[in-house]
Amino acid sequence: MLIEKQEDYTSLTSNKTKGWDVPFPVANYRFDQRNEMFKRAAWDEKMQPYAHRFYREAVFKDQVGYRKIDYALRNAAWNLEWTAGLGNSRSNFGLYSWEGVPEKIRHWVEKDGPVQGSPEEMSKIVKKAAKLLGADLVGITRLHPNWVYSHEFNLITREHYPLEIPDECKYAVVMAIAMDYKAIRSRFTGIAGAATGRGYSDMAFVGNLVASFLRGLGYRAIPCGNDTALSVPLAMAAGLGECSRMGLLVTETFGPRVRLCKVFTDLPLACDKYRPFGVEAMCRICNKCAENCPSQALPHGDMTREGPSMSNQHGLLKWYSNPEKCFQFWSKNRMDCANCIRVCVFNKPKGLLHDLVRAMIRRTTIFNQLFVWGDGLMGYDKPWDAERFWSSLIDP
C-alpha cells in the first residue's frame, strides 16, 4: 500500500484502541504479510532471481566465513527453526502451534480450573517463568489489532488468506533473545549468520515453552515468531526498547542484538510501559548503520512518512529501510547480513564503562556526538575477522 498524498498520512495513524491509549502512533491499517520482503521472494517475479541465488545456490569460498565449515555452522544454528519452528513459513504450525496440551498432562491442566491471581501477581509469575525458560528480556503489553497482519502468506502451501487473533487473546508476552556479541562482530559471514539462526531457533524454543506454561495455567496461548504480528511495536509497547534508524528494536541491555518472539494470551496481565531511553536522539546524529550498510539500504536523512518499498508499512513518521536493496545484497553475498547491528553504538556487552555510557545517554543528549566519536576511536565499528572466532575457541 503506497500513500499518494501527504494529507492522507494523518488519517493513517491512531493511538487509541478499545480504551487503551497506545504510547505512540499506530498505522490505521493492517499490513499484509504477503508484501513482507521474505514472502515476496516466493511470489514476486522481480525478487525471485535473488531468492534463488540466496536460498538455492551453494557456493563455497576459501575465505574463512564462507567455507563449507562456516555454512554448516550457520545451518546448524537455524535447524530448530527450519525443521520444527517454521515461524518464517507460516503461523499456527510446528512449535508455534496455537493449540496443544500433551495428553499425559491434560488432567493436571484441567483439574481445579484456571489458576487465579491479580494481573500484577500473574505478570510477575509469567516473567519469572519466561526468564527461566530462556528469554533474556520480557515485557507485557496489550495487543493493538493493527499490529496483527491483515493476511498471511503461507510459504508451505503458497496460500494467501485473512489472519485473525481470537478477541479474548488481548495480552502479549513479548520476549527478546540475545544474539552472540562476538559472532555478530564478524560482519556478514557464516559466523554472524549462525548467531542470527541461533536466535531464530531459540525464539521457537522459548515461544513454545512459554505458551505451554500459560496453557498449563489454564489459559489460551498463541506463540509467534516473525509470523502473525509485527514484533517491533509490540516490543516497544512492552517496554523492551525503541525503534531505530535501521528499523530494528534497540534494547537498553543488548542494543539491536536481539530477536523477538511473543505469546498472545487471554490471561489478564498487568502491562509494562513504553520506556524510551535516548535511541531516537542518538540515531539522529549517529548514522553509523547507514554509513556501514553494504547495500546502502538504510536512510541517511530525517524521518519520513513513506518508505521506498511496498514492503514498508507507510504512514508513520520514522526511518524506513529499503528491503529490496538489503535482500539484493544478501543474494549477492549468499549470506544474510547483520552489519547494521554490528556497528550500532548500543551494541555493547555489559560492563562498567558501557553501562555508564548507557546511563548518560538515557539522561542527556549533550555527550552523544562524543560517544559516537569515541565508539569509532575504540574500534567498535571495525569488523572482527571470522578467523578470530574460530581461533578463540581453542585459545586458553
What pLDDT does 1 receive? 33
What's the pTM? 0.94
pLDDT in tens, the chain (396 residues): 333 333 344 445 667 666 678 899 999 999 999 999 999 999 999 999 999 999 999 899 999 999 999 999 999 999 999 999 999 999 999 999 999 888 888 888 888 899 999 999 999 999 999 999 999 999 999 999 999 999 999 999 999 999 999 999 999 999 999 999 999 999 899 999 999 999 999 999 999 999 999 999 999 999 999 999 999 999 999 999 999 999 999 999 999 999 999 999 999 999 999 999 999 999 999 999 999 999 999 999 999 999 999 999 999 999 999 999 999 999 999 999 999 999 999 999 989 999 999 999 999 999 999 999 999 999 998 998 899 889 876 554
Residue 200's identity, in one-letter code, is Y
The residue ranges of DSSP E strands in 62-109, in sequence order, are none
Q: What is the Rg, in whole angstroms, of the alpha carbon atoms belonging to the chain?
A: 21
So what's the pLDDT on residue 381?
Answer: 87
What is the pLDDT at residue 215?
A: 97
Measured CA distances, 191 to 143, 196, 249, 304 (Å): 35, 9, 22, 34
Residue 67 near residue 193, CB atoms below 8 Å: no
pLDDT at position 6 is 35
Cα–Cα distances (Å) from 339 to 37, 60, 154, 291, in that order, read: 18, 21, 29, 10
Task: For the chain, report the end-to-end CA distance as a whole number of angstroms.
Answer: 55
Q: Are 189 and 330 in contact (CB under 8 A)?
A: no
Q: What are phi and psi of 60, to 5 degrees?
A: -90, 155
Residue 9 is predicted with a pLDDT of 45
Residue 151 and residue 246: Cα distance in Å, rounded? 25
- Tell me the CA distances in angstroms from 56 to 49, 61, 225, 354, one per residue in order: 10, 16, 24, 41
**For position 104, what pLDDT does the model report?**
86
Give dist(CA 32, CA 28) in Å, integer: 13
* Domain ranges across the chain: 6-390
Judge contact between 273 and 142, C-beta under 8 A.
no
pLDDT of residue 14: 65
